[in-house]
Structure 1
Amino acid sequence: MAPDDELALLRGANPVPRDDPRFHEGPGRPLPPHAERQLNQLLHSASAPRRREARPRPVRQVRRLVWGIEMIGAAAAVALALVLAGPTSAPAVAAPHPLSLRAGSTPLPLERLADRAAAAAEAEDATRLRRGTHVQTWNLALESGPGAAAPITLPEERVTRWKADGSHTELVVASDPRRPGKSVIADGDGGLRTVTDGKVLSDRTFPPSRGTAPPQSRPPHTPEALRAYLAELGHPGDRTPLSGTGELLDAVATFLDHWTPGARESAALIRILADAEGLRPAGAITDRLGRPGQVYVYEAAGLRRMLILDPSTGAVLGLEDTYTKGDRTYGVQAGDVMSYSAWVR
């Protein structure tokens, strides 16, 4: 399906006027890119206690600070408390179960997958880099304190498309392919609410932007240059190398939230991942969109991070973060999925 067809189908689900006051900038609305980067730096600062080595991706919306409550303390919990709105709200949707490996599947070493990705990049019909993204996410919203609601999952689908003049559109829809046609929990200015599957949450057009730093600048397609590009994504404004595999996975997710890699970029990325310490092959899987993949697992600081790659091309299909330890304060248990992203080509 062509990108324009995707946008037409999603917009047709429930069009929202662009002057609708519910979708103006303000509390609970998406942060601009520079604020995302600054907030991500705050979450990674050495002075802040860390729940894990690094976040799964830079924060796109203020509510996602909830993921890092252990790191930034009670102030974030107060500022970002999420409550179900009204007595008619449907029961909260529990956190999705973590994906399971196929029984008896054989793990594929990253070095071998890197060779496959390099071969795919040499093919005549090799995919090309495209600015913009199509991603489905499942993010766990948490509360703390007396009377706090149980953790719930906020599922969204986001399509970002860039135009030749440097402007771009972003369409966000409440959508959960695990439960097609069922109601979806979404957040808004008044707290959490139940909406219909396919509800348009925002449909916005942004003016031209031609920044010279990542993620605005075009990513390179060689391992060494791409590693430097990812380091700048992880540490905006300086040339500090990524400190470990956790930060590398964060930077990869940020990259994929702005660009759809082509075959050459995917091949370079797999070469980088093959050198990542602690990222081990685990076996085959079918992801949440029904696609076959190979899984590579990294565990640190109470999180199990599962990277899902296409077994033929090395393209990143998804990233799942799961708690390996429970926390009574926020009502999470070991095995709860904290966040999941599935990137659609």
Structure 2
Amino acid sequence: MADELELLRDANPVPAESPHFGDGPLDHHAERHLNRLLHDSHPGRRRPYARLGWGLAATAVVVATALTVLLGGPGPTPAVAAPRPLVVEAGSRPVPLGQLAELAAAAASDGSPSLRKGTHVQTWAMGMSDDKPPVTLPEERVVRWRADDSHTELVVATDPLRPGRPVLSDEGDEPHLVEDGHVISRQTYPPSWSDAPPAARPPHQAARLRAYLTETARAGSLTTPELLDATAELLDHWTLGARESAALVRLLADTEDLRPAGRVTDRLGRPGQAYVYDGKGSRRMLILDPATGTVLGLEFMATAAEPEYGLKPGDVMEYSAWMR
């Protein structure tokens, strides 16, 4: 337990400033932190994977149990099946990040579109336990801020990969199948303000943005996984403008182990360029708009099996698709 507590304190998956701190289930950002904490390698020891995370979140077992009851066991489960990993188009030419940074800078010359606080994101997140098959929970989240610094958050259960078909939701005490587009939560938050990233306004200069993301990651210096995770957290708070996107691509261009892979079509049907980081037991694929450098999506995929949890190579553990 002491070792687990040390890991959690280092990763801080549920910071004190989180609006959901001490007030119910983990929010979207905390789920991402736990996913990274439990799957990525840690110098000198192997991190516990699903048992610790879902013990803390207290959801995977009941979700998987509900899947068995509702869908008849480990047979075909099209309503909650994990998306297949994105595939780079054969024969497509990889675009170096430096070249894309130049295109993004040119596209940002007039400053349009502008930065906007709030986000619109589709997510597919896998839940696991050590005795039930993994399940995937697809959701769409829209956060909009008002002039008085209050904001609204709408979360619906939906999977654009299977439009109109029921999806599994873990709302309430008993997970169950719901209609596509079912409202999971609709909340309005009172005025709030913070000068700490990622709530603070992001800069549009690459050097300053690196410092901003370093503070977001609570790291002394950014590794590539930390940079990608901090980018995802930024995009869960802000819809970047052209200048911020150009600064981000310039920053990513300085990352030596994020390799260009070629052309892909993302999960919302948008053309993109893929950039891949291969870690221990996992792969991250960042998808960028080929003309503006805007982040379209981020895929987190297992490349090593975890038989204890039913995890296979090629399983997509998490995917986010951001929209304007």
1:323 to 302, 316, 321: 302
Please give the per-residue CA displacement for 1:127-156, whole angstroms capped at 9, x wherever unaligned: 100000000000011011xxx221111000
8 A Cα contact 2:114 2:241, kept in partner: yes
Unaligned 5+ segments in structure 1 are 1-22, 45-49, 55-68
Question: Aligned partners of 1:234, 1:300: CA distance in 2, in Å?
Answer: 18
* Equivalent in the alignment of 1:71: 48
* Equivalent in the alignment of 1:174: 157
Question: Aligned partners of 1:97, 1:86: CA distance in 2, in Å?
Answer: 19
1:139 to 125, 134, 137: 125
> For this pair of structures, how many residues does the alignment match?
291
Please give the per-residue CA displacement for 1:314-343, whole angstroms capped at 9, x wherever unaligned: 000000011001111110100000100000
Question: Aligned partners of 2:238, 2:110: CA distance in 1, in Å?
Answer: 21
Percent of matched pairs sharing the same residue: 52
Superposed counterparts of 1:219-234, under 5 Å: 219-234=202-217
Superposed counterparts of 1:233-312, under 5 Å: 233-235=216-218, 240-242=220-222, 244-312=223-291
Q: Does 1:51 align with 2:39?
A: yes
* Displacement after TM superposition at 1:43 (Å): 7.0
TM-score (norm 2): 0.83
* Equivalent in the alignment of 2:185: 202
Superposed counterparts of 1:61-210, under 5 Å: 70-71=47-48, 74-79=51-56, 80=58, 81-83=60-62, 84-85=65-66, 89-90=70-71, 92=77, 93-123=80-110, 126-144=112-130, 148-210=131-193
SS, match of residue 110 in structure 2: coil
Unaligned 5+ segments in structure 2 are 1-19
Question: Aligned partners of 1:153, 1:86: CA distance in 2, in Å?
Answer: 10
* Equivalent in the alignment of 1:332: 311
* Displacement after TM superposition at 1:123 (Å): 3.2
Given the superposition, is the C-alpha separation of residues 199 and 42 from structure 1 closer, same or farther in structure 2, using an over 3 Å criterion?
closer
Q: Does 1:30 align with 2:27?
A: yes
* Equivalent in the alignment of 1:7: none
* Displacement after TM superposition at 1:73 (Å): 6.8
* Displacement after TM superposition at 1:301 (Å): 1.4
Question: Aligned partners of 1:273, 1:207: CA distance in 2, in Å?
Answer: 35
Given the superposition, is the C-alpha separation of residues 139 and 86 from structure 1 closer, same or farther in structure 2, using an over 3 Å criterion?
closer
8 A Cα contact 1:53 1:247, kept in partner: no
Amino acid aligned to 1:141? G
Question: Aligned partners of 1:137, 1:41: CA distance in 2, in Å?
Answer: 15
8 A Cα contact 1:28 1:188, kept in partner: no
* Displacement after TM superposition at 1:76 (Å): 3.6
